[in-house]
Amino acid sequence: MSKKNKREDTTSKSIGEIIFTNVFTLFNIVNITLAVCVALVHSYKNMMFLGVAFWNTFIGMYQQIRAKRVLDKLSFLSQGKVRVMRGGQEMEIYREDMTKADMMILSSGAQICNDGVVMEGRCQVNESLLTGESDWVLKDFGERVYSGSYVVSGYAKAAVLHLGEDNYIHNIARAAKKERSINSEILYSVKFVIKIVTILLLPMALLSFGKQFFLLDEPLDKAVVATVAAVIGMIPSGFVLLTSIVMAVGALRLATKNTLVQDMYCIETLARADVLCLDKTGTLTKGHLQVEESLSWEDFDREEIRLFCMSMQDKNATLQAIYHKYRDREKEEYNPSSYQVEFSSERKWSMAVLEGKGSYVLGAYEMIFPNGQEEKIKNRIRQEEERGKRVVAFAYSPSCKHEDELPQQLSLRCLFVLGDRIRSEVRETLEFFRDNDVDIRIISGDNPVTVSQIARECGMENYKKYIDMSYCENEEQMKKILKKYKIFGRVTPFQKRRIIQLLKEEGHTVAMTGDGVNDVLALKEADCSIAMQAGSEAARNVSHLVLLDSEFKSMPDIVMEGRRSIQNLQRSATLYLVKTVYSIMIAIFFLFVPFPYPFQPVQLTLIGALSIGIPSFLLAMEKNYGRVKGNFLRHILGKAIPGGILVFLNILASLGFTMLFDYGEAARETTVFFAMAAASMIVLFYLCTPFTFMRTILFGGITSILVACIVLFGGVFEIVRVPWVTGLLLAALISADLLFYKKPHC
């Protein structure tokens, strides 16, 4: 039975993987182990923390599965069709419908989806996703092509050798993204917190149990419950879950804006981006070229350019625009040339050799006539480029040699002036980025003067700071150029990538938009890459985000969504680390004092759910559009440590107060619980400032629920009556907290 290609799910985990990764987390395993310990001593109500773990896990799975379904639908819509020869006819089919009987048609921009062998024509192929080498490889008759590589230029037909998993690398598009390390401070921070907590968890549990059971002679059940309480508070399980949920919700919201998220963590890098590199064609302009004027010489024959266009198999945008101008509907027969040199971003010209006629070359004038440019022609080209137009030259040579070099005795036949329309929303979009502290760089393969004029029409302030990168000779020169200029013309694909690398080396977070094959290397290098759906398949496959409507005006909404997600995540993550900080401090402190650990797991569950769990998820969904700056972990620790210290000091003060007034053990533990609850609510109070209507409802509702639980269900939470002076203590603590715990800490 013949194999068929499978549509690769590159956008998200499978449902099984989502369930597995949410259920079998380190923190869930620890929670279950602690619950078993509590159950063995028959203290079942202290197992309530399992309810929090369950709902956290359930919410995480629900949000991620929901996001997966939406993204998979978008992913299916974004799947490009492939061109094949089937039954002697050329047609477009979905990749998964291809069979070995089909002949693959390989043209510029297409990613090769199956291993094959070239049977007709030739093309240049970039195999960097397979080999790591950036050099382009010429594929001629009888040579193998491999899935995962993509066509840079040329036109060829290749027989299919392998399908599905038999391909050399059957999931190369996914592998291309996996090879690139994830640039996420949040991910690093989560891993660091997990590492630290894991290191502390076991020794703290053993020391706490040893102290309770052996030194204080506490009964086994009380020692186990106290140990579980000490350890459970240290686990920031909601922190990990919250990160996943915020990313999933962010991807869902972007999906409503016709944006496919192929890497969840790109939401963070997009929120941090301070430099945006733009390709001109297809991003700032619509990418639909048209011939606006032709400047011909006496020996120019319209039939020559028509035959040239028809003979070339590689139909790029420039060629299509010229052919549309000079086509003859009564003469649509295909007349392949005896030899072709396809256009590439490196050489910037293409050539067709027509037997008995000579060689015809189309491309940049300065590339075709590098040593013999006429001043009059150069001035005319400069005038058109200053108007933002693209000028290409059409030249002829009587030579019929089959070589990849420019022929001798070239003479100019015609100059074609081509124009592209500016997208209507570009000016407002660039203004948005300027107002939001994002530096704009335009990187294009076009003439720098043309690019500069396009930038002027788009309202870019630094449109005069442009340079021709074809004169850039070395690394040091490029570094100096990068500091001085904002617009780069005549940029090769390798220079585009190096520009991105140098910007990153300077400490910038770089986002890049593009749609062509010449953008692929730079897109893969960028911290966050955005491709247009209407662009090349290769560009879409290596990008983090795909704009399904190919509209540049969607960019502000995407950036704002990223900022909202990460800014709110920073605020909410602070709550979890506040608990971790004070739990570690309390656990260590009570190892060295002659008192048992004062909290029950059920009490910590109540405080955690009300002052951390519920508020964190609600605050994480608010609007918050400031650009994300600074180190994520340092930022949240800078807020969490003062909060943790505040709670710890409240506990110490209340403990000293109960010793002074000779409280009993039950009253002492209740008083310490009240002090911890008061400090936790103060931290939440400052995180809610400035108060909006929703934040007022949130804080008021949480406070009311906490009071109701204490008054109505005190027995469940091991809360007893305390002396009336405890009220004075709490009033003093709250006043001191409000006075000394200033808003800047939050």
Contact 463, 455 (CB under 8 A): yes
pLDDT at 180 over 50: yes
At 181-234, the pLDDT tens digits run 566 788 788 878 888 888 888 899 999 999 989 888 889 998 898 899 888 888
Q: Could you tell me the pLDDT band of residue 704, with boundaries at 50, 70 and 90?
A: very high
SS3 category, 345: coil
Catalytic residue list: 279
Backbone angles phi, psi at 296, to 5 degrees: -110, 160
500-509, 594-603, 675-684, 734-743: the lowest-pLDDT one: 734-743
Burial class (CB in 10 A: 0-12, 13-18, 19+), 163: buried
The reported pLDDT for the residue numbered 31 is 85
Residue 481: how many CA atoms within 13 Å on its side-chain side? 23
Q: Is the dihedral of CA 571, 576, 578, 581 positive or negative?
A: negative
447/468 Cα distance (integer angstroms): 7
The reported pLDDT for the residue numbered 403 is 86
Residues of the chain with pLDDT > 90: what percent? 29
The reported pLDDT for the residue numbered 631 is 80
68-72, 126-130, 168-172, 503-507: the lowest-pLDDT one: 168-172
CA-closest candidate to residue 545, choices 730, 308, 353, 273: 273
pLDDT at 569 over 50: yes
Q: What is this structure's pTM?
A: 0.70
Contact 528, 545 (CB under 8 A): yes
C-alpha angle with apex 141: 140 to 146, nearest 5 degrees? 70
At 430-444, the pLDDT tens digits run 898 888 889 999 998
The reported pLDDT for the residue numbered 173 is 42
45-54, 62-71, 607-616: the lowest-pLDDT one: 62-71
Give the dihedral of Cα atoms 466, 472, 475, 478; nearest 10 deg.
-10
Mean pLDDT of the chain, nearest integer: 84
353/401 Cα distance (integer angstroms): 8
At 299-345, the pLDDT tens digits run 788 888 988 988 887 777 788 889 888 887 656 565 667 788 888 77
